[in-house]
Structure 1
Amino acid sequence: MSVKECDHHKGRKRILFQRIFWAIMVFLFLVLLTILLIWAILRPTKPTFILLDVTLYAFNASQPNFLTSNFQVTLSSRNPNDNIGVYYDRLDTYMTYRSQQITLRTAIPPSYQGHNEYDVWSPFVYGNDIPVAPFNSVSLSQDENNGNIFVTVRVDGRVRFKVGAFISGRYHIHVRCPAYISLGNNGKGVDMGENAVKYQVDQRCSVNV
């Protein structure tokens, strides 16, 4: 009699476990289906960035392995989404040469970007006597003597996305904007006075979120 009761209880437990298992599977399926439907309806797209221009105020690599530079960059950002807002919680702008940072980081004030809205920022990025790796210092001196230099404007930070009343967690954002700058009096920049030269770039940036 006791054996039959044990088999009966085992059968009930097995049925209970099966029901719990299938309930979990159905719940996960509904969650994934909801995420898929939200993605299909909203079609989220990462922000786009364009480097509009670069104004050069100072660029001096005369000291061995040290660089002093001062730039003002103008960046345009657009939120291409119709139903998603973007919170820029933190954005830091700086310059690199051959993957080496050559200026200090400049913070862009936090902001919110609504649906299909544009923002334009014009931060100054600069560095005084920034150490440059020896192998980069040689290339930098050569480029300066040739009157042409290729740098990258970088923006790193964190963003959040807003859908209705829902606000997502923070995501890292990395923006890379290549800029080709012609030094000296070669007519490719606009003289702004006081040794400042503005270069029109209009370069689309790569964005990773």
Structure 2
Amino acid sequence: MSVKECDHHKGRKRKIFQRIFWGIIIFLFIILLTILLIWAILRPTKPTFVLLDITVAAFNATQPNFLTSNFQVTLSSRNPNDHIGVYYDRLDTYVTYRSQQITYRTAIPPSYQGHKEIDVWSPFVYGTDVPVAPFNFVSLSQDQSNGNFYVNVKIDGRVRWKVGAFISGHYHLHARCPAYISIGNNGNGVNYGENAVKYQLDQRCSVSV
């Protein structure tokens, strides 16, 4: 009798554990399905970025194959979502010329952007005696002689989405803002301090997340 009773109790315990296990699995599945349904209904849209203006304080080839540049860029970011917030955990801004980075990276402080909110940042980005590829230096010298140059202001970062109490994992964000500037023609810009010219652009940036 005692052996049968032990087997009977073991069988009951096994069934109880199985029910608890499958109950937890079903509960987690329902939570995950609910989150996915909410996510699909809300349809998160990536933020929009606009390069409002750029102030050029320096853009000089100090010696062969080296460039010194100094910019202040004004960027706006808008969260187009009605029910989703955006955490900007990391944003780095820098400038490239013909696909080559010519400034150091400047970090924008982390922030949270609520529904339909707009943030504006004005970081300084610069590079001192940055090496330039020889083939790019030839184009750079020509652009300096012509008084015109074309650069890209780029933003790399990591963002998270907030839906109610749910916060997603990190996503990589990349923004690319083209800027065509006439450094030899102040008619396209406004003198802004000593040896600095500000150019109004209002250039929409391409964004990928």
| TM-score class, shorter | 0.7 to 0.9
Match of 2:84 in 1: 84
User: Which moved further from structure 2: 113-122 or 177-186?
Assistant: 177-186
TM-score (norm 2): 0.83
* Per-residue deviation, 1:30: 7.0
Alignment deviations for residues 127-165 of structure 1 (CA, whole Å, 9 cap, x no partner): 000000001000011011111100000000100110000
Match of 1:148 in 2: 148
* Per-residue deviation, 1:61: 1.1
* Per-residue deviation, 1:37: 3.1
Alignment deviations for residues 115-138 of structure 1 (CA, whole Å, 9 cap, x no partner): 000000000000000000001000
1:52 and 2:52 are equivalent in the alignment: yes
2:186 touches 2:197 (CA, 8 Å); kept in 1? no
SS at match of 1:193: coil
* Per-residue deviation, 1:43: 1.9
In 1: Cα distance, 2:114 partner to 2:35 partner = 22
1:108 and 2:105 are equivalent in the alignment: no
In 1: Cα distance, 2:205 partner to 2:124 partner = 18
In 1: Cα distance, 2:131 partner to 2:64 partner = 9
Q: Return structure 1 stretches of 4+ with deviation > 6 angstroms.
A: 29-33
1:171 and 2:171 are equivalent in the alignment: yes
TM-score (norm 1): 0.83
C-alpha RMSD of matched pairs (Å):
2.0
- 1:1-209 equivalences in 2 (<5 Å): 34=34, 37-209=37-209
**Percent same amino acid among aligned pairs?**
82
In 2: Cα distance, 1:63 partner to 1:102 partner = 14
Gaps of at least 5 residues in structure 2 are: 1-25
Number of paired residues? Answer: 185
Q: Residues 34 and 165 of structure 1: is their aligned pair in 2 closer, same or farther, counting only changes over 3 Å?
A: closer
* Per-residue deviation, 1:192: 1.2
In 2: Cα distance, 1:170 partner to 1:32 partner = 18
Gaps of at least 5 residues in structure 1 are: 1-25
* Per-residue deviation, 1:69: 0.5
* Per-residue deviation, 1:38: 2.1
Amino acid in structure 1 at the alignment position of 2:187: G
User: Which moved further from structure 2: 80-89 or 30-39?
Assistant: 30-39
